[in-house]
A and B are shown apart, each in its own frame.
Chain A
Amino acid sequence: MVAERYKTAFTLYPYEKVSAQDAAPVRHPVVIVGGGPVGLALALDLGQKGTPALVLDDHEGAGLGSKAICFAKRTLDIAHRLGAGVPMVDKGVVWNVGRVFHGERQLFEFDLLPEDGHRNPAFINLQQPYFEQYLVQAIRAAQAEGAPIEIRGRNSAVGIDVHEDYATLDVETPDGPYQIEADYLIACDGARSPIRTMMGLDFDGRVFEDNFLIADVRMKADFPTERWFWFEPPFKDSGQSALLHKQPDDVWRIDFQLGWDIDRDAEMQEDRIRRRVDAMLSSQTGTVPEYELVWTSIYTFQCRRMKEFRHGPVFFAGDSAHQVSPFGARGANSGVQDADNLAWKLDAVLKGRAPKSLLDSYHTERAYGADENILNSSRATDFMTPKNTVSRLFRDAVLGLAKQHSFARPLVNSGRLSVPCVYDGFPHFGPDALDGPYATRPGAACPDAPLGSEYMLDRLGSDFSILALGGDAPHHDRINVVHIRDPEPTVRRRFLGDHTRAIYLIRPDQHIVARWPDFDASAVEAALLKTLGQ
């Protein structure tokens, strides 16, 4: 039998017996273990490119509880490319303003001031089960169009045998065990990754000695759609910091930092949680509004990653490969970027368009991304939980100065919100022959921009693109050419700077490979071969 580890919010992929369970092991090009945001995004990306992807999940749908709630623009851009972005943004709560308090005092407020000319907002708040549901809906739509994606619910990976160029999985189902072979096996099976454990691999990094209580409450309240964060909150028993943030369906995320030495069972008792929530809500409104506790959880966290994200035919993506503190929304967001990075590389290798060695760049690039996320989230955590007298002294000095003096505000750190890393100087990028704007240098994720009634990222699509701005349309017999004869001001500002024309080569994950002032077919060909690892 397959044990139920948690309750599901929605059933998305009910168990159905397949004939393969009674047959000799079948070899699949790509098997993905785990149907969370990372595994689903990867399967969808591969399937839309025509590369078969089989997802195994030990449950039948999205786990209960809001979990990841904050999805960044880059993730929404990826989801939109995959055909799942619109319902996310429609359902999600868009927010821009944050307030930071120290005790009773508001220190300052910030506005993310989103730039114009992007399809997607800087951030939305959306409960993770919805994120997964919309990805599965997009998978169902892709399947109807013939995309070779299969999801098998209640298929639990219980054993793995790793060979030089394939892996064999032992799978447990309600109808008993069977085996599957995979040319490539992608472990998207979460922070406690059973695949990682079965392979005897571990993590390097720091465990933070702190406990956070999450209480998601449903209530009708007039709080604005803002992120409110308290250092040393004034309400009773609220711990060292607290957070209030709105989600869809009238649900509010409340977080309390409880410290290290706590009695978990006692803290999880409903009356105790309610006393904390009552104190917080009444401190803002003077009364305790009617509310329902939707989900509660106590978590501790680590900032750490695996040394290698690739072990032969087995790849680790998302929380199975790296973990961060939740401050900054760098968990699910970075996992979706892992999927985005890996999908086109697997596809190119399986179709014979790139050598197998291209797959090594998945680790180099995404481990760099993970290190950046770990650094940012460790710094936020160190600020929120000073680890010795002198760190507390400086932390309190910063908070003490921040209300009156703006110079201290950039030092206040309650989480630096997720932005994609730039692969500066990585081997599969370059050259930068344009001397153009810094934000669109090779290695960067291509920013969005308006093109009449459309958006730039939609035109680029999911394969290699040549973006030609100004000048004449270049011709290329294999690559999608997006030519914009008269770029509008936003496009000029983001991609041209002082130039009147430019050529950009962009990867299928919409990272910029190289750029030039003019089209030169042999230079583009050389950059393309380099980025494919040939």
Chain B
Amino acid sequence: MLTLDPNIPDPDGFYDDLLKAHEGLNEAESMALNARLILVLANQIGDRDILRAALAAARQ
């Protein structure tokens, strides 16, 4: 099951970390970072049903 309820402790801290990861990058570098990050996170999830549900949620 895809979790769409809040699940991240300290959400502001996470958001801050996410933006900090992009500091000093140009747009192409940021896009590349996002792509790598999605692949890393997708591998962590592993479950194909969850990944399909996540893709659908993001496309809406």
Count, A-B residue pairs, CB within 8 A:
46
Residue contact A407 to B6, C-beta cutoff 8 Å: yes
A421 to chain B, nearest CB (A): 15
From A230-238, A389-397, A450-458, the one touching the partner chain is A389-397
Does chain B have a CB within 8 A of A276?
A: no
Give the bracket for the number of chain A residues in contact with chain B.
20 to 34
Which residues of B lie under 8 Å from residue A379 when comparing CB positions?
Answer: 12, 15-16
A404-B60 in contact (CB<8A): yes
Interface residues of A in 397-429 (CB under 8 A from B): 398, 401, 404-407, 409-411, 413, 416
The closest CB in chain A to the CB of B12 belongs to A379
Other A-B pairs, 6, CB within 8 Å; known A379-B12, A390-B22:
A388-B22, A391-B22, A394-B15, A401-B57, A407-B5, A410-B11
Closest partner residue, chain B, to A406 (CB atom): B5
A85 to chain B, nearest CB (A): 30
Complex formed: what's the CA distance from A379 to B18 in Å?
A: 12
**Digit string of B25-38 for contact with A (CB within 8 Å is 1, else 0)?**
10100100000000
User: Quick check: A407 and B3 within 8 Å, CB to CB?
Assistant: yes
CB distance from B35 to the nearest CB of A (A): 13
Task: Report Cα–Cα, A391/B16, bound state, in Å.
Answer: 10
Query: Residues on A close to B: CB < 8 A?
Result: 376, 379, 382-383, 388-391, 393-394, 398, 401, 404-407, 409-411, 413, 416
- Chain B residues, CB < 8 A from A407: 3-8
Between-chain CB contacts (< 8 Å), 18 pairs: A376-B12, A379-B12, A379-B16, A389-B30, A390-B22, A391-B22, A394-B19, A404-B60, A406-B4, A406-B5, A407-B3, A407-B6, A407-B7, A407-B8, A409-B6, A410-B8, A411-B11, A411-B15
- The count of chain B contact residues (Cβ–Cβ below 8 Å) is 19
In the complex, A389 Cα to B26 Cα: how many Å? 9
B29 nearest CB across to chain A (Å): 9
Kindly state the separation between the CA atoms of A398 and B11 in the bound complex, as whole angstroms: 12
The answer to whether residues A413 and B3 also contact, given A390-B25, A394-B18, A394-B19 and a CB cut-off of 8 A, is no
* CB pair B6 A382 closer than 8 Å: no
For window 33-47 of chain B, which residues contact chain A by CB distance below 8 Å?
none
Rounded to whole angstroms, the CA-CA distance of A406 and B6 in the bound complex is 6
Contacts of A394 in B (CB 8 A): 15, 18-19
In the complex the two chains form, is B19's CB within 8 Å of A390's CB? yes
Q: Once the chains bind, are B19 and A382 in contact (CB under 8 Å)?
A: yes
Least CB separation from A413: chain B residue: B12
Given A376-B12, A410-B11, A416-B12, A391 and B19 touching (CB < 8 A)? yes
A409: min CB distance to chain B, Å = 7
